[in-house]
Structure 1
Amino acid sequence: MEVLLINGSPHSQGNTFIALSEVAKTLEREGIQTRLMSIGMKAVQGCIACNKCSELGRCVFNDILYKEVREALKSADALVVGSPVYYAGPNGSLCALLDRVFYSCSELLAYKPAASVAVCRRGGSSATFDRLNKYFTILNMPVVSSQYWNSVHGMREGEALQDAEGLQTMRTLGRNMAWILRSLHENKFPESEKPIMTNFIR
C-alpha cells in the first residue's frame, strides 16, 4: 500500500514539509510506502470550466505537473495534502491544481482515504483545513482524522520542529491512516447510486 503526500508550499524543505514528513515517517514505520511530491514552486494552470475533461477523461491542460500527479494517483491508495496558510486559506497554486485534479480524476480518487494538513504562524489553520477537506468529501473519500485538527505551527523555516503537539498530531494521523488503509484493504467499497444532478433553478 502507498500514500501520496502533496506539499503545496513553495518552500520544499519548510514547515509544511516537516509536518508531512512526520506523517510519512509514521506511515513507513507502520509498513505503508509513501511518496512526497512538492508542487509549490511550479506554475499551475487553473481550471477554466471548459468541461473537456468529461470528453477526454483528463484535463485539457495536460501539462507535466498534472500528468505527474495523475500518474501518482494511479498507484496511490490514499492521499495527504499539506498547505501553508495564506490569508486563512490554502496556497492558491495548490487549489488551482486540486480543482483540476479532483474534477478530472474522480475515478482515481473515489473511496481512497484522505487527509489535509495546514501549517501556519498563528491563525487560519482551521479554515484552511476545512477548505482542503471539501475536495475529499465530494468524492466519497473517507477523511482521516487525528487527536486534534491537522495543523502544525511555525513561521520561519524549521520552527515546526518546536511544535510538540502539532508533530504528535501528525504521528497520530499517520497511525490512523495506516489503520484505515489496512481495514479497507480487507473490504469492498460500498455500492453507489448513479448521481442525480440538481441545482436551485429547475
Structure 2
Amino acid sequence: MTLSKKYVVAFNASPRKDGNTATLIRYALNKIEEQGIRTELVHIGGKQIHGCIACMKCFENQDRHCALAKDLVNDCIDRMVEADGIIIGSPTYFSDITPEAKALIDRAGFVAIANGGLFSRKVGAGIAAVRRAGAVAALDSINHLFGICDMFTAGSTYWNLGIGFEPGDVEKDAEGIKTMERLGENMAWFITRVQD
C-alpha cells in the first residue's frame, strides 16, 4: 500500500515506553495505517520536560516555538504542526495525566494560539490507560487542548481508554482494544475526507 501525504503523530506520555499506554496507541495507529496514512509514535514519558512558565515569549517571538528550547517540546510542536491528526496518550495519575503530557499540552497549545492557530482544524484524540477509575478525567484534560486550539476531537464507541495495571494487561481488555481500533478508523475516516 502506498502511503498518502497525510500524517498522524502520537505522543506516549507514559514513563513505560512499551507499557499499556503505548499498546493502546498502537492499536489505533494500526487502523490509521491500514488507510494508507503515515503514523509516528513519539515517546515523551519520563523525559525531562519543563512546564510552561508563562513568559509570553511565544506571543512576542511568533516563531512557532517555545522559548524554553532545552527539551524536546519544540520538536514535538514541529511534528504537531506537520500532522493532520494528533494523539496524546497518558496513563492515569490521580485521575489525571502525567506531568509530561500536561507540559506538552500547555506549551504546545500556547505556541499554537500565539502563532495564529497552528493546530486549527486538525483531528485530535486522547487515549488513557487506567488501572481501575479516573480515566475519563484524564481524557478530559487532553481534550481541553483540542477544544481551545480549534481542532476536531475524535471519539469511538466508548471512552478512549483501556484497563490494565501491569504492562500488557490491556491486551486482556477486549472492549478497550475494540475502542482503540474504532478510534483509529474514525480518525482515518475524518482525515481522508478533509480537503486541504
Is the TM-score greater than 0.5? yes
User: What is the Cα deviation at residue 30 of structure 1?
Assistant: 1.4
Q: What are the equivalent positions in structure 2 for 1:113-192 lying under 5 Å apart?
A: 113-184=123-194, 186=195
Q: Which residue in the other structure is 1:46 paired with?
A: 51
Structure 2 match to 1:63:
70
* 1:85 is the counterpart of 2:95: no
> Which blocks of at least 5 consecutive residues in structure 2 are unaligned?
1-5
Amino acid in the other structure paired with 1:47:
C
Counterpart check, 1:10 vs 2:8: no
Q: In the alignment, does 2:24 pair up with 1:19?
A: yes
Residue 110 of structure 2 is matched in structure 1 by: 103
Higher Rg of the two aligned structures = 1
- Number of residue pairs matched by the alignment: 186
Letter in 2 for 1:10: P
Residue 66 of structure 1 aligns to which amino acid in structure 2?
V
Q: TM-score, normalised by structure 1?
A: 0.89
Deviates more, 1:25-34 or 1:8-17: 25-34
- The alpha carbon displacement at 1:108 in A equals 2.5
**Contact 2:105/2:142, CA 8 A, preserved across alignment:** no
Q: One-letter code of the match for 1:178?
A: A
Q: How far did residue 59 of structure 1 move?
A: 1.2
Aligned-residue Cα RMSD (Å) equals 1.1
* Unaligned segments of structure 1, at least 5 residues: 189-202
Aligned to 2:80: 73
Over the matched positions of the two proteins, sequence identity in percent amounts to 35
Deviations 1:22-61 (CA, angstroms, capped at 9, x unpaired): 0111111111110100100110111111111101122110
Please give the TM-score of this superposition, normalised by the length of structure 2: 0.92
